[in-house]
A and B are shown apart, each in its own frame.
Chain A
């Protein structure tokens, strides 16, 4: 078990890995969205995270909280549809939760993730089962918390979170959407995995990678 804390480099690794994951799955995300949304989720998310990574590269200094707020604001501005405001505000809120500390532990990361989910809930009013981001986000946080509570290293807690996010993502397949455009297009959403839950699974896969990195901070 490692003892060094998480810091600005963790944020950069996390957002970088998310950008990579989104790029790899861009067409898949767009394809999922074509069935029930506006067919732009992959393109939008790719544009947004690419812009966020570029913004981080222009910002060599900065505390983790500031960096996340920068990422959040970039996403709000550059991602269209509901995804920009949702992911952007969530990460911004998470950044605010970190305040101006440079190094934080996994408990603080958990608290930050909870703030992010709370913001998503405030904006979207979605709960588990509505076929949204929340279906992956909420179980991922719970799994991360369970891992930490049982004294696991953050790597394995991160792996649990990723697995739970992926399970949550798959659980949206048979659901009928109760939020978003898909909700009033009615039955069309059944049998399609939710694009938002899918991008959230990418976010948590990236979190696992970023958290397990050997590099300090």
Chain B
């Protein structure tokens, strides 16, 4: 039983990566499973609308119910829920895009994204997974992880996304030390050329002893965010302030839930 759940999950992951329409044969080859097994799993997934079969080609793709599940995940996410108003006000005040992220293995998962309040076309990044070492959200979070957790993150994959991505663990450790000291993390074109991010960690009622639950920050064109590689002071101050307010909300919420 449990094996079939794992296999069904593998099918969903396969349909969610790369080629998005796959036939039974392709899936069975990719997963190393018998065609009959894959077919049975697909039928069950289709019955629950987790996958859809294209009538013309007979190929399978992800089902629309996954969007509902994804939204349900976001709705139930406490940091996201509490960050909505804070993120709006930060975007208004700084005139920059705002992102909220939480650690997910060697990545940061973007759980909220407010567009830069101008007329430009932007793409929604909610759901994106960014390598932690290449963004300020990730570095802000990592700076407050315990040593064991941090060693694991430093030992994991550290892909070079641009010529400026810091990929050497000693250099990253040095950067994290500075972030702990300053309370704000800066990323200078380490994920995308021409873009920068300034972020600060968010804590819940357990405080910084157990690490940050996530981070909030502004992201945008490097020339608007940084001066000589350093955060514009007014932006850093606004980010820090919002992270502090959000942390207060996160801590308060938990205490309240315990029945205060």
Contact = CB atoms under 8 A, between A and B. Distances in A.
Interface of A: 34, 37-40, 80-82, 84-86, 121-125, 176, 178-181, 183-187, 190-191
A187 B165 contact: no
B163 A187 contact: no
Given A80-B221, A176-B18, A187-B18, A123 B125 contact: no
B122 interface: yes
B123 interface: yes
Contacts of A125: 160-163, 165
B20 A80 contact: no
A169 B107 CA distance: 29
B128 A179 contact: no
Contact of A184 (B18, B20, B122, B130): B130
A81 B121 contact: no
A53 to B, nearest CB: 22
Interface string B170-201: 00000000000000000000011111000000
Interface string B97-113: 00000000001000000
Interface string B11-47: 0000011111000000000000000000000000000
A179 B194 contact: no
Given A124-B193, A184-B191, A39 B129 contact: no
A81 B130 contact: no
Interface residues of B, number: 27
B162 A186 contact: no
B194 A38 contact: no
B32 to A, nearest CB: 21
A37 B121 CA distance: 10
A82 B221 CA distance: 9
A7 to B, nearest CB: 32
Contact of A34 (B121, B128, B161, B162): B121
Contact of B194 (A39, A84, A121): A84
Nearest to B131: A184
A37 B195 CA distance: 13
B3 interface: no
A176 to B, nearest CB: 6
B120 interface: yes
B193 A85 contact: yes
Nearest to B108: A184
B19 A82 contact: no
B162 A123 contact: yes
A117 B125 CA distance: 30
A194 to B, nearest CB: 14
Contact of A179 (B122, B125, B161): B161
Q: Sorted from nearest, which 8 A-B pairs have the closest CB atoms?
A: A82-B193, A39-B121, A184-B130, A125-B163, A125-B160, A187-B17, A184-B128, A82-B194
Given A39-B122, A125-B161, A125-B162, 14 more contacts: A34-B121, A37-B123, A38-B121, A38-B123, A80-B194, A84-B194, A85-B193, A124-B162, A125-B160, A125-B165, A184-B107, A184-B129, A185-B125, A185-B128
A81 B194 contact: yes
A190 B129 CA distance: 16
Contacts of B20: 187, 190-191
Among the interface residues A39, A176, A179, which one has the most CB atoms of the partner chain B within 10 A? A179
A81 B191 CA distance: 12
B17 A38 contact: no
Contacts of B19: 190-191
B44 to A, nearest CB: 23
Contacts of A121: 163
